[in-house]
Amino acid sequence: MTSQTPAALGYRMPAEWEPHIATWLSWPRREGISFPDSFDRVMPAMRAMVAALTESEQVCINVCSAAHEAEARQILQGLPMEQISFHIIPTNEPWCRDHGPIFLTRDLDPKLAIVDWDYNAWGNKYPPFDLDEIVPTRVADILKLPIFYPGMILEGGSIEVNSTGALLTTESCLLNRNRNPHLSRGEIEQRLQDYLNVREIFWLGDGIAGDDTDGHIDDLARFVSEHTVVTVVEEDRGDENYEPLQENLARLREMKIDNREIDVITLPMPKEIVRERLRLPASYANFYIANSCVLVPAFADPADESALSILRNLFPDRRVIGIDCRELIWGLGTFHCLTQQQPAV
C-alpha cells in the first residue's frame, strides 16, 4: 500500500447516517467468552437485529466455519436469506464494531478503502484475540480494497464522526496506558487526522460504570447530525454515573464545530442493572443507525419509551426500533458494539 495517508489521498470516514451498502457482523461462538452460560438466551436479540437490518440493507456475517454458518442459518431461518451473506472470517468474539474494518470513502477510484487499526481486546483484557486482530485485512482481501495500517491500537466504538471533519472520543479510553503507551495525546490526534481525515477532535472524560472498554464513546455521546450530539445523563445524584456524565455534558456544551456551538440533546439512562454482582454498562446511546431504521437497546425499563421517543424525533425518516437487550448486555455491549457499516459509494 502507498505510504501516503488516507487523508492525503482524499479519503474520509463517513458518518453512520450516510448511506450504507451493508452492515457487517461477527456471529457469536458458543465457546466464546462474551456470553457465559447465556449463549442461547442472546439469540433472540441477534435474530431481531438481523431481521430489522435485512429490511434496510445487505447483512454480511463473519463465521468461523461451515458448521458455524449452519448454526447461524438455523437461528435466522425464515428471514430473507438473499439479504444475508456469510464469509469465512474466523473471530474470537462478536464485537465487530471494535475489531472490524473502518471503511473510508472518496470520490476517486478506488472509492472505498479500509483502515486496519491494531487491536488488543480493550487493553489485553480478554485473550486470545489473534483472530479478531486480523479481521479488517481479511475483509479487505475479500472485497479487494486498498488497506491502510496506522500502527496504533484503536477500537471502532471509541470514536464517533460527524461527516464534516469532527470526531468525538474519550480520554479514559484513547489515552489509557493499556492501548498506546508510546504515543502522546498529540500523536494520537495526528493519527486520527491522517487516517480518518478529521480536523477537529473533541475529548470527553470518563465512561459509564461497568464499561470494560475503559469508556467507549458509543455508550456516552453520539452525533446524530453534523452539529447535533445526543448524550446520556443520569438523573439520580446517588448513582456512580451521575458525576462523570454531568462532566461530559458540561464539556459538550462548551464545544464548537467550525466555531458554531453543538446542539446537545440528552438521553436518559436505564436503571442500574446488576448481574452476578457486576454492574452492566446498559446505555441507550449504543444504538445503531442503518439506512431505514435505528436499532435501540431496550431494557424493560421505565426510561425505554422516553429514550425511543427522543430518538424518533431525531430520526423522523427512519423506523426507530427498540429490542430487548437484557440478555445481550451480559456480554457488556449491544447493537452498536455488534455492527460495522460499509458505506455505499
Return the number of other C-beta atoms located less than 10 Å from residue 66's C-beta. 10
Contact 149, 1 (CB under 8 A): yes
Strand, helix or coil for residue 64: coil
- Catalytic residue status for 337: yes
pLDDT at 15 over 90: yes
Q: Cell numbers of 185, please?
A: 495525546
Q: Which residue has the cell 481525515?
A: 197
CATH of the domain at 180: 3.75.10.10
Asked if the structure places residue 15 within a domain, the reply is no
| pLDDT of res. 2 | 57
Asked if the structure places residue 154 within a domain, the reply is yes
Asked if the structure places residue 11 within a domain, the reply is no
Asked if the structure places residue 3 within a domain, the reply is no
CA distances from 59 to 56, 71, 101, 137, 249 (A): 9, 16, 15, 19, 34
Q: Which residue has the cell 430489522?
A: 52
Asked if the structure places residue 272 within a domain, the reply is yes
Dist CA 258 CA 150 (whole Å): 26
pLDDT digits (tens, 9 = 90+) for 184-217: 999 999 999 999 999 999 999 999 999 999 999 9
Q: What is the mean pLDDT of residues 73-88?
A: 98
| pLDDT of res. 36 | 85
Strand, helix or coil for residue 2: coil
Q: Which residue has the cell 487516517?
A: 195
What is the residue type of 198?
V
Asked if the structure places residue 59 within a domain, the reply is yes
User: Which of 11, 116, 28 shows the shortest CA–CA distance to 72?
Assistant: 28
- The total number of structural domains that make up the chain: 1
**Residue 206 domain boundaries:** 20-343
Contact 218, 160 (CB under 8 A): yes
Q: What is the mean pLDDT of residues 99-118?
A: 97
pLDDT at 171 over 70: yes
Residue 260: is it exposed, middle or buried by C-beta count within 10 angstroms (0-12/13-18/19+)?
exposed
Buried b (16+ CB within 10 A) or exposed e, 172-205: bbbbbeebbeebeeeebbbbbbbbbbbebbbbbb
The pLDDT-based confidence of 3 (bands split at 50, 70, 90) is confident
**DSSP-derived secondary structure for 114-164:** EE--B--HHHHTS---HHHHTHHHHHHHHHT--EE--SSB--GGG-EE-SS
Packing angle, helices 66-75 and 39-54, rounded to 10: 80
The single residue of 96, 173, 325, 337 carrying the catalytic annotation is 337
pLDDT digits (tens, 9 = 90+) for 253-312: 999 999 999 999 999 999 999 999 999 999 999 999 999 999 999 999 999 999 999 999
pLDDT digits (tens, 9 = 90+) for 45-69: 999 999 999 999 999 999 999 999 9
pTM of the model as a whole: 0.97
Asked if the structure places residue 14 within a domain, the reply is no
Dist CA 189 CA 118 (whole Å): 16
Asked if the structure places residue 10 within a domain, the reply is no
Dist CA 59 CA 75 (whole Å): 15
Q: What value does the mean pLDDT of the chain take?
A: 97
